Chain A
Amino acid sequence: MQTSELLQSYLVDANTWDEMYKDASVREQYKKALDFLQQLSIDELNKKEELAKRLFMSQGITFTVYSDGEGIEKIFPFDIIPRIITAAEWDFIEKGIKQRLKALNLFLKDIYSNQFIIKDGVMPAQMIYSCPHYLREMHNFPVPYDIYVHISGIDLIRDSDGSFYILEDNLRTPSGVSYMLENREITKRIFPDLLPHNNVRSVTEYPTILHRNLMSLSPRQIYNPTIVLLTPGIYNSAYFEHTTLARMMGVELVEGKDLVVDNHKVYMKTTSGLQQVDVIYRRVDDEYLDPLVFDPGSLLGVAGIMSAYRKGNVAIVNAVGNGVADDKAIYTFVPAMIRYYLNEEPLLKNVPTYQLGKDDEREHVFKNIERMVIKKTNASGGYGMVDG
């Protein structure tokens, strides 16, 4: 193997899965990419990283951290070495995630109606009723087409043997897809020709597919339903994503104060009067969605929106109350759910998880704390986490 300046000091850790190297040889899928990278000096690679940072900054692909009363714009971490996932790997992941989401969606439908999973003794009732994100308001609620999870963010992790594990499910208002789309654009800029030469599948269809799916949910059977993306506003850390998706789909980006409910219908306030809204892709959390039903102090939501939802006059994406299904304690039951609802074996495995509520498991965790990650069961998005 030829060693260029670039890789001389690169170390392969035997206990970790290395995407590019297998022992001392390069994996097949990385050969072309590596050839390309080896033509660059460290200096050139640094310049490309600088270019990437500048592009992110100038396009406003940033999030804001507030300190000393002043907002500081930060760009998203971006690894300029591409990660390659082969078609075979991707097919397997796709099947596994589809299976998992189907089961989770059936679980939500079940838990908010007949609760067979409890009655059949697969899951203890206490797991559900102790979860703060189980919303009694959603019980027997007619969710359109019984779809609860329209958009999900399933986190994956790779073990040292290369197999994929589910790290956690995000079924409430997951974000990240716009960074994937923008990363792809930046990659095109800093590595010209690399993508077409490697036969990389395109991701540009995403906004169109999302738009089509949102249109199909409209309660009014009309040619051009009004779809909006509901954001908490410009101070939300994912605001860039909200505005990017709205732009790419050509739909209206609204804040709670732009909407009003009249006679169980949702309208937006426009320069030419009120216009009825059919589908709301919301990025506002459940608890802030409707001050009449949830947190009465919330200014981010819309008073009366839940009643319009219940009447079937508006579709809300994702459905309300999904937090019960991506709870970290419920997570341990997902393989059982797949067996129970689908009568299939789970394709993607869970990361081994212990419940601190059980004496023997807690003891095991505390003994091996340096190798554990502890998560709050009802939190999401990396909050409430402790690394051992």
Chain B
Amino acid sequence: MLSRVADSLFWMSRYMERADGILRMLKINYASSQDDIQEFSWKPVLRIFTFLKDEDAAALAKNTRAVLQFMVTDKDNPNSVLNIVTQARENGRSVQDHITKEMWQCLNDFYHTVRQERLIDQLQREDPITVLDTLIKEGLLYYGTTDVTMARGEGNSFINIGKLLERAIQSADILDIKFSDLNYELDKPADTTYWKYMLMSISGYELYLKTYRGGFEAKKVMEQIILNENFPRSVIYSVRHLHNYFSRLQNNSNSYGFNEIDFMIGKLESKIKFSTPDTIIFEGLHHFLTETKISLFEIGSTLSKNYFGHS
């Protein structure tokens, strides 16, 4: 496979995962904002998904409709869903002969949907959940189509590597920022709705209820998001599957490049696997998450060096 093609598939997939993450986050936070208008703030979302300066984020944080506009349809915000989906589609467009026609049509339809002028009006005046649900569905259609139609070769591996790397980074980010709100004091009893909405935003609410009895505790939430092997958005799940898909790239011609990254992913996987909630707290949650993110970023840049270098 051409290095440029691998690069584009990887980024197409990362952008789609990011769009999905942003949309889910917006939907649940919007619902949360309707529960408690006085206390609710969009600041954590803006911190996770934008590069706004603190004072700009603070100015926006109380204005729900403005945040939705900024995060979904704003042309000048590089992290708006509009721009993220455009990036995914441009990447897909340049590798149309490596994805299935059905996948290309999903990307293309998503792009044309998010560009519709009337979305701006709907987000401003009507029920935003309807708009967000429409967009989330477009993304789900892409996931399903990819799963059903994409050939299980190298291209599929790069698509999954991009998706899982992005997801691991997102989960670590979300956890870090949500806990920074509480100054990382894990024993401090927090408002139940705070954890409930956070888990819902990453589709982990039902699993939490089934796994842990007796209400919401910060430590258990952290355990699920970092260490639960059955939770598809946990850091350990993402890293383990990332390792799986990466190991399929092994062949004789690039063993140096392969081994370097295989070592990095294996090391990270082992570190997380042999952690417990207590050792993480002992190390310091913020420190643990920062180290994890640094490792993930390094895996990304080494992939780019060893597999995507084409210019």
Contacts and interface: CB of A to CB of B under 8 A. Distances in A.
Nearest to B253: A272
B126 interface: no
A234 interface: yes
A120 B93 CA distance: 52
Given A252-B2, A258-B2, A271-B154, A58 B105 contact: yes
Nearest to A252: B2
A243 B311 CA distance: 21
Interface in B247-279: 249, 251, 253-254
Given A247-B101, A257-B310, A271-B307, A57 B112 contact: yes
Contact of B311 (A57, A239, A247, A257): A257
Contact of A271 (B6, B94, B109): B6
A246 interface: yes
A247 to B, nearest CB: 4
A58 B115 CA distance: 13
B108 A59 contact: yes
Chief secondary structure at chain A's binding surface: mixed
B96 interface: yes
Interface string A315-340: 00000000000000000000000000
B3 interface: yes
Interface in A41-99: 57-60
B2 A254 contact: yes
A270 B1 contact: yes
A241 B96 CA distance: 11
A233 interface: yes
Nearest to B107: A60
Nearest to B7: A271
Contact of A272 (B90, B93, B94, B254): B254
Interface residues of B, number: 25
**In the complex, which range does the number of interface residues on chain A fall in?**
20 to 34
A57 B253 CA distance: 41
Interface in B81-136: 90, 93-97, 101, 104-105, 108-109, 112
A239 B92 CA distance: 13
Interface string A242-275: 0110110001111101100000000011111100
Contact of A258 (B4, B93, B251): B4
A251 B6 CA distance: 16
Interface in A321-369: none
Contacts of A257: 4, 310-311
A50 to B, nearest CB: 15
Given A254-B2, A269-B3, A60 B105 contact: yes
A253 B105 CA distance: 19
A268 B108 contact: no
Contacts of B6: 271
A262 B75 CA distance: 44
Interface in A200-249: 233-234, 239, 243-244, 246-247
B4 to A, nearest CB: 5
Contacts of A255: 4
A268 B2 contact: yes
A233 B301 CA distance: 25
Interface in B63-92: 90
Contacts of B95: 253
B93 A60 contact: yes
A247 B97 contact: yes
Nearest to A239: B93
Contacts of A251: 97
Contacts of B94: 233-234
B4 A59 contact: no
A230 B4 CA distance: 13
A255 B95 CA distance: 11
B88 to A, nearest CB: 13
Contacts of B108: 58-60
B10 to A, nearest CB: 11
Contact of A58 (B4, B93, B109, B249): B109
Contact of A243 (B4, B97, B109): B97
A268 B5 CA distance: 12
Contacts of A269: 2-4, 310
Contacts of B90: 234
Given A234-B94, A243-B96, A271-B3, 11 more contacts: A57-B112, A58-B108, A58-B112, A59-B104, A59-B105, A60-B104, A234-B90, A243-B97, A253-B97, A269-B4, A271-B254
14 contacts: A59-B105, A60-B104, A233-B94, A234-B90, A234-B94, A243-B96, A247-B101, A251-B97, A252-B2, A255-B4, A271-B1, A271-B154, A272-B253, A273-B253
Interface of A: 57-60, 233-234, 239, 243-244, 246-247, 251-255, 257-258, 268-273
* 9 interchain residue pairs of minimum CB distance: A247-B97, A272-B253, A246-B97, A243-B96, A60-B108, A273-B253, A234-B94, A269-B310, A253-B97
